[in-house]
């Protein structure tokens, strides 16, 4: 187990976080549509190559979550992507769930599938270089949802996934995402996130998971995106930490937040406010997808001559989130980059 502990700790090393580059085929198509680029395998390869070869990004990025296609691809110079990342001291990871599907007999709720054949897939991914994995469960908030049925069914699946990962020598990132779509208050988000985390850690304990060889990738506790009034940065930090101190054991080495549709700068500011309230029982880091990539995607636009501009934009967001890890981020740092 010591190797799992070391990997988990390395992923939340000081000043570093994780790039989620594990977009499914459907999600990456939506991203490319936004810049008018066709989602071909060649374009997806060129885009990931731009991100992964960004000079100096490894100062701030400890690991990259890959998609099944990406872990099998090579960089434009022919180096397999996992080898390219390893050469920079970045740990390759892999998304292994097969997506949220409708939960039987539970209208409006989902369960994540992908446990069938997972043991064999993990063995193959380990051979391809993956040293950590990710499985995402999602929960919708309304006045009635999520149900206990949905909460516990997903918690059980997350723990089964985590056990198979640890058996394969792979660190499981456990991702229970309470979706922030809706009009709910921050208090309601706190209540639901508490119930979800309580179920997840009950199942992880019952299924013999070594918590020191895991990471948690949760939502922050936010007001619903359509709420009439939304909680500010400090309130988000306080409600989120109150929730996590109650439910996340100190044995967990780190919490790597998802950005969940927040703006790039909001995701950074919220992380910063939480770290400024330390010391905390665990490392508080980031595992952002869109909030790290959006400016880079826009600057690149699918054009080879814009690769450097895309890399500068990605490097900047990685640097801002690294600053947020120490509570030293300030919005002025964004403007300085624009004028630099």
Which positions are annotated as active-site residues? 175, 217
Question: What string of H, E and C letters represents the secondary structure of the chain?
Answer: CHHHHHHHHHHCCCCCEEEECCCCHHHHHHHHHCCCCCCCHHHHHHHHHHHHCCCCHHHCEEEEEECHHHHHCECCCCCEHHHHHHHCCCEEEEECCCCEEECCCCCCCEEECCCCCHHHHHHHHHHCCCCEEEEEEEECCCCCCCCHHHHHHHHHHHHHHHHHHHHCCCEEEEEEEECCCCCCCHHHHHHHHHHHHHHHHHHHHHCCCCHHHCEECCCCCCCCCCCCCCCCHHHHHHHHHHHHHHHCCCCCCEEEECCCCCCHHHHHHHHHHHHHCCCCCCEEEEEECHHHHHHHHHHHCCCHHHHHHHHHHHHHHHHHHHHHHCCCCCCHHHHHHHHC
């Amino acid at each position: 187990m010591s190797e799992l502990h070391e990997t988990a700790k390395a992923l939340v090393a000081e000043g570093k976080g994780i790039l989620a580059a594990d977009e499914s085929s459907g999600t990456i198509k939506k991203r490319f549509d936004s810049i008018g680029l066709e989602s071909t395998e060649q374009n997806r390869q060129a885009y990931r190559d731009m991100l992964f070869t960004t000079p100096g990004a490894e100062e701030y990025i400890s690991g990259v979550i890959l998609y099944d296609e990406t872990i099998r691809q090579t960089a434009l110079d022919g180096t397999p992507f996992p080898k390219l990342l390893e050469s920079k001291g970045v740990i390759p990871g892999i998304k292994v769930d097969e997506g949220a599907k409708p939960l039987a007999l539970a209208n409006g709720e989902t369960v994540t599938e992908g446990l069938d054949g997972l043991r064999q897939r993990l063995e193959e991914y380990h051979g391809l270089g993956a040293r950590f994995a990710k499985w995402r469960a999602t929960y919708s908030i309304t006045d009635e949802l999520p149900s206990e049925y949905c909460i516990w069914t997903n918690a059980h699946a997350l723990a089964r996934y985590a056990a198979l990962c640890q058996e394969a020598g792979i660190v499981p990132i456990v991702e229970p995402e309470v979706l922030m779509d809706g009009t709910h208050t921050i208090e309601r988000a706190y209540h639901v996130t508490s119930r979800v985390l309580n179920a997840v850690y009950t199942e992880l304990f019952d299924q013999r998971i070594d918590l020191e060889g895991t990471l948690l990738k949760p939502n922050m506790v936010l007001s619903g995106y359509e709420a009439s009034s939304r909680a500010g940065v400090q309130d988000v930090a306080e409600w989120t930490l109150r929730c996590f101190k109650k439910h996340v054991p100190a044995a967990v080495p780190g919490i790597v937040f998802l950005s969940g549709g927040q703006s790039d700068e909001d995701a950074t500011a919220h992380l910063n406010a939480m770290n400024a309230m330390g010391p905390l029982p665990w490392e508080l880091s980031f595992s952002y997808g869109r909030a790290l990539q959006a400016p880079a995607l826009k600057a690149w636009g699918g054009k080879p001559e814009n690769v450097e501009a895309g890399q500068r934009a990605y490097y900047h967001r990685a640097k801002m989130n690294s600053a947020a890890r120490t509570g030293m981020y300030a919005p002025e740092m964004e403007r300085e980059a624009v004028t630099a």
